[in-house]
Homo-oligomer: A and B are copies of this chain.
Amino acid sequence: MIMPNYHFFKGKKVLIAGGLGFIGSNLARRLLDLDAKVQIVDSLIPECGGNLFNVAGIEHQVDIRIADVRNEPEMLSFIKGQDYLFNLVGQTSHLDSMKDPDTDLELNCRTQLSILETCRKIQSPPKIIFTSTRQIYGKPQSLPVHEEHPLTPIDVNGVHKLAAEWYHRIYGQVYDIRICILRLTNTYGPRMRIKDSRQTFLGWWIHEILNGNEFQIFGNGRQLRDFIFIDDTVEALLLAAEREEADGQIFNLGGENQISLGNLAKLLTELHGSGSYRFVPFPEALKAIDIGDYYAETSQIRSKIGWSPKTSLEEGLRTTLRFFSDHLQHYQMEQKIDAAL
């Protein structure tokens, strides 16, 4: 495996848009370790992943701006002069997107246009690393899913994520901006959103286990998924930024193995030492937008920039359970901006 050049980020100016969220905050911590100059912009929209506790302990080493990324003049002042822009902005709830498509449009499309329009007006824009999602593939027509799989989203969130990805491809081509797109699958780990299932069902399962509640598995539990531990996702983001070979590329991220949801529930409760769950029929609203089995083909990113996941599911889940056992109160209560920093 090719290792990232860890000296590479020393002194580099990096903006993390959506940086108070799960992935962004873990990335910020890693970049601080690598001596990068880290700025975060986040709007702390309640339905998105931002949580001020995610930067607890690093809040004085990072320049944190609470701002709406749709405010282009403000974004200009943040983006100008940056070397790298990690674009993690967005909302991820499929169900929310079906209930309120207008808000999803604002949070997943207008936000992206604001960021990209700002970049194209800058003389030397930063290289952008954009986190896209497996959701744009829709129901897999073949497994594992490779990057050439047809893009057939099955909910409004998927449509908007697809649009966001196309914006990046087009701005990269038309305006000659360096861009790399990573299509993520289920990412989990410390600082994920667990107070509901907006980010991933796994977060909610962990929430329920730690609160001593029974959790539910929709369907028969045989649906296959792959999972990536957050440290591996962060490593992919760093490689995508550092490597020139990543410019203009679209890469799947994927787990080393796939696992059925039933087996995942079993593993999770075993690792925690307790916990119960039961299988229930799919709620109607979710059934209509379920994608069935999914796991990614990842030979592209392996061969082109040398990424591969290193953390086993067991190890990752253990770390995650430990983190949330220690900090549960910060991830189930409604956060208050004034109290947390």
Residues of A whose CB lies within 8 Å of any CB of B are 98, 101-102, 105, 109-110, 113-114, 117, 150-151, 153-156, 158-160, 162-163, 166-167, 170, 173-174, 288-289
Contact = CB atoms under 8 A, between A and B. Distances in A.
A162 B289 CA distance: 19
Contacts of A160: 163
Contacts of A151: 151
Contacts of A101: 113, 117, 167
A96 to B, nearest CB: 14
Judged by DSSP, the binding face of A is helix
A320 to B, nearest CB: 33
Given A102-B110, A158-B166, A174-B289, 11 more contacts: A105-B105, A105-B110, A113-B156, A153-B170, A154-B173, A155-B170, A156-B167, A156-B170, A159-B163, A160-B163, A162-B162
Contacts of A167: 101, 156, 159
Contact of A113 (B105, B117, B158, B288): B105
Contact of A159 (B102, B156, B158, B166): B166
Nearest to A114: B102
B173 A288 contact: yes
Q: Which 4 A-B pairs have the closest CB atoms?
A: A159-B166, A174-B288, A101-B113, A163-B163
Contact of A170 (B102, B114, B154, B170): B154
A155 B102 CA distance: 22
A341 to B, nearest CB: 32
Contacts of A170: 153-156, 159
Contact of A109 (B105, B150, B166, B174): B105
